[in-house]
Structure 1
Amino acid sequence: MFPPNAPHVEIKQGLLAILPDFRGFENENPYMHVKVFEEVIGNFYATNVIETAKLRFFPFSLKDKAKGWLYTLKPKSIGNWGEMTQEFYKKFFPPHKVQQVKMRISSFIQGNNETLFTAGERFKDMYNFCLTHEYDTWRLVSYFYEGLQPRDRQFIQLSCGGGFLQKEPEYTMDNLDEIAENSNTWSGPNPLDSTDRNKSGTTTSGGNVFRLREEDNMSAKISLLTKEIEKLKLKGSRGCNDVFR
């Protein structure tokens, strides 16, 4: 199945013992397998032979059902490593699975009690699970932002000085996790939490007292948010200009 003129590559001592295994089970991720496999091979072979080494030793990482699939490939049908991974993904992560992942990404919604940090980690796991989702970076950023609760969309806008979706998508995606991590350092209640636990039920005719208390509470929340952002800056946060450099 491999090109007949491929250069010979010797097996390095200890290589086969640390290769990851892939058996073709439903719960296995072929993208993760290839990623780990490439990392292992990259630690053993030089750049000029690494592509050949990947082709040469990939079969040793396959077991059971996956090994059986490999033997069904036609002779000389694989000319390079890219063709091998393409066939591998097509078999063990077929198009209908890709569509399922794409639907989960595009319909992402943050849970009511889910923190910004946890939501960010969950979203990253979604799009990293299938590397052939073919979504552009700007679209991923948009799906994530639009799926957030209003309180966290507001937090991101305040952290960036506004215009979050108008910034360069590569920078927003690369550094969005920094904003989420900063939010994870907050202590106490979320200053943008829409639930006001201290709100009094006392009202007068026309609701003037209630409205005044709402205004006081909002002012307190804004003040607390400002203080928390200043704390983040003092702790070494690079701020918006640096985060989206």
Structure 2
Amino acid sequence: MEGEGGAHNENQNRRRSIGDAFTYTSSREFSSIVRPTMNDRLAEMKPALLQLISSNQLSSLDHEDPHTHLYTFYELCGSVGVSGADKEALLMRLFPFSLNGKAKAWLHSQPNQSLTTWRDVETKFLARFFPLSKNTEARTAIATFAQGADEPLREAWERYKSLLRRCPNHGFEVELQVQTFCNGLQPQTKMILDVSFGESVMFRTAEEAITIIESMASTDFRSQHGRSSSHKRGVLELSTQDAVLAQNKILSQ
């Protein structure tokens, strides 16, 4: 009898009413990303990394760029110095902490345990936050690049490179990238660069052209900081003498 009573009590403990079925859920084990096992060394580093990653979260706001977010995330995780399976485990374990707001809600909307590799996570993430429509917009921004009327060469070059980074699969060959940039420059800037190129960018390889642009942009930066704040800022902010000196330096290399 005692045994039967114990079994009866156990059945009562297990009893779940229809109402319970609709009100009781446990999300404790829910995770759209499969959590790989981390070795002891990575587990010890995790708290410090979490703080860094949590300070660089993506919330899916209009001004946020998913590729830049991934670059930053890779950079932070790369500081640990692991590879192979350990790197995969680190990325998959920490990525959820790099998201916030709508981006975090998207991750939670994925089926439980559906993302089994880092490639799955990255592919799904970019498909959601960098769809074909955004890819098209980014490619158009590259193709129609134009230097601002008062934009120094240095800032124009940095902005153009930023456009390229935000769309890694833009499909523009390096030669077309250089030509597009040069075609979008203001006439005064383009004239100075053409002299440095040797009449035209078409006479240079892409690598040579980029080296010259980088050098001119650096000269432009130094020129800006060498002038007083009261001096009116020009398109390239190089005097004729500055331009000639920069040209001679480049051509003598």
Quick check: 2:196–2:251 contact (8 Å CA) kept in 1? yes
Among 19, 32, 38, the alignment partner of 1:8 is: 38
Q: What pairs with 1:216-235 in structure 2 (closer than 5 Å)?
A: 225=240, 227-229=241-243, 231-232=245-246
Point out the more displaced range, 17-26 or 158-167.
Answer: 158-167
Q: 2:60 aligns with which of 8, 18, 24?
A: 24
Residue type at the aligned position of 1:16: L
Shift in CA distance, 173/85, structure 1 to aligned 2, threshold 3 Å: farther
Supply the distance in 1 between the matched residues of 2:204 and 2:120 (Cα, whole angstroms): 36
Distance 2:68 2:235 in 1: 37
Q: Partners in 2 of 1:189 and 1:27 — Cα distance?
A: 31
Aligned-pair CA distance for 1:69: 1.1
**Cα distance, 1:154 vs structure 2:** 1.9
Q: In the alignment, is the contact (CA less than 8 A) between 2:58 and 2:103 conserved in 1?
A: yes
Q: Is the 8 A contact 1:155 1:192 kept in 2?
A: no
What is the CA-CA distance between 1:38 and the residue it aligns to?
1.0
Structure 1 190/92 Cα, relative in aligned 2: closer, same or farther at 3 Å? Answer: closer
- Shift of residue 53 of structure 1? 0.9
How much is the aligned-residue C-alpha RMSD, in angstroms?
Answer: 3.2
Structure 2 residue aligned with 1:47: 83
Q: TM-score, normalised by structure 2?
A: 0.68
Alignment of 1:147-166 (within 5 A): 147-166=184-203
Kindly state the Cα deviation for residue 105 of structure 1 after the two structures are TM-superposed: 1.4
- Which residue identity lines up with residue 172 of structure 2 in the other structure? Y
User: Counterparts of 1:61 and 1:52 in 2: how far apart (Å)?
Assistant: 15
Deviations 1:132-168 (A, max 9, x none): 3232222221111111122222211212334423433
Q: TM-score scaled by structure 1?
A: 0.70
Closer, same or farther in 2 for the Cα pair 1:165/1:88, shift >3 Å?
farther
When structure 1 is superposed on structure 2, of 44-53 and 136-145 the one drifting more is 44-53
Kindly tell me: are residues 166 and 184 of structure 1, through their superposed partners in 2, closer, same or farther at Cα, counting changes over 3 Å? same
Shift of 1:121: 2.6
Secondary structure at the aligned position of 1:71 is classed as helix
Out of 73, 80, 83, which is 1:37 matched to? 73
Q: Residues 1-58 of structure 1: CA distance to partner in whole angstroms, max 9, x if unpaired?
A: 5468x45344313221111212222222211111111111111241232232111211
- Matching of residue 177 in structure 1 with residue 214 in structure 2: yes
Distance (Å, rounded) in 2 between the aligned partners of 1:109 and 1:34:
27
Q: Which has the higher helix share?
A: 2
Q: For residue 172 of structure 2, give the secondary structure of its aligned residue in structure 1.
A: coil
Runs of 5+ consecutive residues of structure 1 not aligned to the other structure: 194-223
Gaps of 5+ in 2: 1-31
Change (3 A) 1:145 1:55: same
Cα separation, partners in 2 of 1:17 and 1:113, compared to 1, 3 Å: closer
Q: How do 1:48-87 and structure 2 match up within 5 A?
A: 48=84, 49-75=86-112, 77-87=114-124
| Cα distance in 2 between the residues matched to 1:16 and 1:114 | 38
1:118 is aligned to 2:152: no
Aligned to 2:29: none
In the alignment, the residues of structure 1 paired with residue 211 and residue 165 of structure 2 have an alpha-carbon distance, to the nearest angstrom, of 14
